[in-house]
Amino acid sequence: MSTFFPQLRPGSAMQYPLRKAISYRTVVHAENETQTLRSPDDGSARVEWNLQLRGLSDTELASIQSFYRSLRGAHGEFTFLDPDGNLLSNSEDLDGSPWSRSPHLSVAPAATSPLVASTAWSTHSSAAGVGELWQSVALPAHYHWLFSIYARAQTPVSLTLFLRSAHGIQQHTVPLTAQWTRYWFGGMWWPSGEQFDVGLRIPSGMTVELGAAQLETQSSPAAYKRTTSSTGVYEGSRFLDDALRVTSLAPNCHQLNLRIGAPFVG
């Protein structure tokens, strides 16, 4: 079971401004005084977040302090969910793994896409039954989640967005138009769990074009981030400070700066 950085108040994964930096290392070999050989140090890239947390409640602060102590500060590793990232894999390859679909749904490349340099797909649900397309993610089901996707249809049809766990299913149905539009649905419903499904349901006999799917721990959608096999889920993260320095401004009001680092896979 992975250890995840705790969420703040419901619907808030992090606070802004958020600073994020990616660093790379180059190996330099000096053969003589006039000739050097430079090469990238594969596997050494790092990503670092500088989090400025303000207005923390007593409960939020206690949660972070307890998490920090459980890891023995900078010694322990955990999984950090990038507040600026997309947590779905292969967000533009709806015909490939790890996306799954029901037998009644077919998927083919669409002629146009909602965003520049993005890929969209035309999905058709046969008359034999309702079509479903989903991705299973190994993330804490009890966090606040937001799923968004661009969609359109040439004929009147409704699209259902859903999040499904062992505790049940939550869903939201929207009417589509012929114009590319971003739709989203989210919330915080389940008490526990380390896996859930993120997906769509298309009525039988209907065709819907889809693109730019995104999952994030926010209350409203951020700018779309394309993903392949690498996502905004960073395992092997660590605190970069040997102590937490907290400033208490008033009862139930605290501030804290955190630095978190992780191996970067682009």
Q: Are residues 104 and 205 in the same domain?
A: yes
In degrees rounded to 5, what are phi and psi of residue 56?
A: -70, 135
Q: Residue 146: which CATH number?
A: 2.60.120.260
38, part of any domain: yes
With beta carbons less than 8 A apart as the criterion, state whether 99 and 125 touch: no
Provide the pLDDT for residue 114: 95
Q: Are residues 80 and 103 in the same domain?
A: no
In degrees rounded to 5, what are phi and psi of residue 32?
A: -160, -170
Q: Are residues 105 and 198 in the same domain?
A: yes
Q: Are residues 106 and 48 in the same domain?
A: no
5, part of any domain: no
Q: Are residues 43 and 103 in the same domain?
A: no
Provide the pLDDT for residue 12: 65
Q: Residue 239 to residues 8, 48, 67, 69, 236: CA-CA distances in angstroms?
A: 17, 10, 11, 11, 10
258, part of any domain: yes
Q: Are residues 238 and 210 in the same domain?
A: no
Q: Are residues 30 and 126 in the same domain?
A: no
pTM over 0.75: yes
- Residue numbers of the domain that contains 59: 18-84+232-263
204, part of any domain: yes
* Strand pairing class (46-56; 253-263): antiparallel
Query: What single DSSP character describes residue 5?
Result: P
66-104 in b/e form (b: 16+ CB < 10 A) is ebbeeeeeeeeebbbbbbbbbbbbbbbbbeeeebebbeb
196: left (phi over 0), alpha (psi -120 to 50) or beta: beta
Provide the pLDDT for residue 37: 75
Q: Are residues 191 and 258 in the same domain?
A: no
Provide the pLDDT for residue 219: 85
Q: Residue 106 to residues 17, 41, 102, 163, 205: CA-CA distances in angstroms?
A: 42, 43, 9, 21, 11
pLDDT, averaged in runs of 10, over the chain (266 residues): 81 75 81 72 85 92 95 95 94 96 96 92 95 97 96 96 97 97 95 95 97 93 94 96 94 95 88
What value, to the nearest 5°, has the Cα angle with vertex 161 and ends 158 and 165?
145
Q: Residue 21 to residues 49, 120, 211, 241: CA-CA distances in angstroms?
A: 7, 30, 28, 16
Distance in angstroms (rounded) separating the CA atoms of residues 102 and 265: 32
Distance in angstroms (rounded) separating the CA atoms of residues 136 and 99: 8
Q: Are residues 207 and 103 in the same domain?
A: yes
SS3 63: helix
77, part of any domain: yes
Provide the pLDDT for residue 10: 63
Distance in angstroms (rounded) separating the CA atoms of residues 16 and 84: 11
